[in-house]
Structure 1
Amino acid sequence: MKLIGIEEHFLTQEVKNAWSAISLEAADPSVAFHGGPLEKRLVDLSQERIALMDETGLDVQVLSLTTPALHDLGRESVDLARRANDAVAEAIARHPNRFQGLATLPVTMPDEAALELERCVRTLGFKGTMLCGRVGNRNLDHLDLLPIFQSAAALHAPVLLHPRAPDKVVRDAYYSGFSPMVDAAFACFGLGWHYDAGIQFLRLALAGHFDRFPDLQVILGHWGELVLFYAERIANMDRVSGLQQPMMTYFRRNLYVTASGMFMPHYLEQAARIVGYDRLLFSTDYPYQYRPGGDARRFLNECGLDQAAACAFAHGNWERLTAGLSTAS
């Protein structure tokens, strides 16, 4: 059974240098998490990565630039995005049966980002894009960023919403008071990342993006970035939202959910209860959640799904989602 991981990350030295040039680590503590052995795995787009894919049982990685991507860079991000996407396209050309791509976008330049997404889908054959939460001080629902979602909707290109560190004011209020290392972990992979990503999805819904673009498809990792576990409470916002549809409709019509290496069958069941088995996607969150011992393949075999549902989870749902991409120039 083919196994496709749709949230698998990379980093280029050029992007890391751009982060350093603006001292981004002072504003986003997650930047410091990309060093050492993780950096070695992130920058490799060849044999070592493929060997680790084979070891865990993954056939295909859908590559995306790791958080915080280009969300804090200015005009220079236009060329940075193009070069990062071209590097991914070259890796796919070398290993067409092992890699696919999600577009890296210069999101601080929304019109240019929309054009780059179109280039990546129509020319490079990418499968969608990944966004990493806020762009500067703007949430993703800000009207300035609407061209990106217009482009994604027109292309039928899914948008993966990836976590990023909360704003410093939020970190200081809720995730501080311990050691610097504990504060950073608490604000990022401990919990803060996931609240931030889930909130970005809810903001898109409450801002009416799924009314404007009924076919827009968004992906949340980590079994729905917490919000699926409060779907019943979130549904109470129907009383005041003024939206065209109930909140549960957006969960079931506009949202896909992926595992991100959190291999827990009861989380899978909760996600399926809200969005349906036809909206579950597989991912390992490489290299952050990588564990040796055939971990990915073992979870697929032991997650409790029947043959048809397991095939859909492993590859079928992703292939169906991306089959409708608008690739005509």
Structure 2
Amino acid sequence: MNALGIVTPFWLDRPDREALDIALAAEEHGFGQLWIGEMATFDAFALATAVAVGTERIGLRIGPLPAGVRSPVSLALGVSSVATLGRAPVGLALGGSSPAIVHGWHDRPWEHGAPRMRETVAAVRTVLSGQRLAVSGDHVRSNGFRLRQALPEIPITVAAFGRAMTRVAAEVADEVVLNLVPVEHVARVREQLDEQARAVGRTPPPLAVWVPAALEPGTAALRQLAAQVSVYLSPPGYGELFSALGYRELVEAARSGVPRAGLAAAVPAGLLRVIGAFGGPAEIRERIAAYHEAGAGHVGLVPATAEDPGGRRLLREVAR
């Protein structure tokens, strides 16, 4: 069944608390799921708890959070805290993130993302199922951490970029999510997930995709979207995707150290339209339908808010 949700964006030019406004608007207009990521503003679990307390029905998916930054115990504690202090349904999403965030911000190793993801998902599931977990070298001790209340039903989503991470996601994830990708890429990943999951005797996991969206965007909205895309030009995975789309020079400029402001000014509207949903209500709905037809069971809209505070106009029109 195809579904439509909302992603709380962290636009660099907007108030931090706008994330709460978007959450309230998403609930008001009947969306079934809200994604809550993490950048340079709120701790994701803290924001998710605030949203859970302030809403009544909307489901929450926390992340994708970098798998190599928090320990499996802290990840399980975080998501279980939201489920207990707020309410269900809630899920956890994990990703590889980027060297700039994992190593540059958190001083953790970024390499070997795929095997780390496999280990992390298994360990988080162990904790959520109510079993004890404590690792010393290669040995799991019997006196390790255990949740007081098991929550084995919490789903784990994996953000997949590249063949290695896609293979891990196909084999261990309850759901797979993509971000800033064209429709054609969704179709390719859907085929890979189906093939790799069936090769290990597993039902292929459902696929979700985050899609930036703006209702009849003007100059300010397009500038906001370009500024955000510029952040993703250099990280591994994203850079290769944008290069394949014909924007190799932009990627090379980002990786050579060109300031973000200069990169944002160079991001063309054509690139934004390849990875987003823009225009009038009918055009946006057609774009959403194209992602669904390509194999995304869930589309999470990332609302531009430079000209539409809280994304309220966009959410109202799409909800109709």
TM-score interval for Structure 1 and Structure 2 normalised by the shorter chain? 0.3 to 0.5
Give the structure-1-normalised TM-score: 0.43
Higher share of residues assigned strand: 2
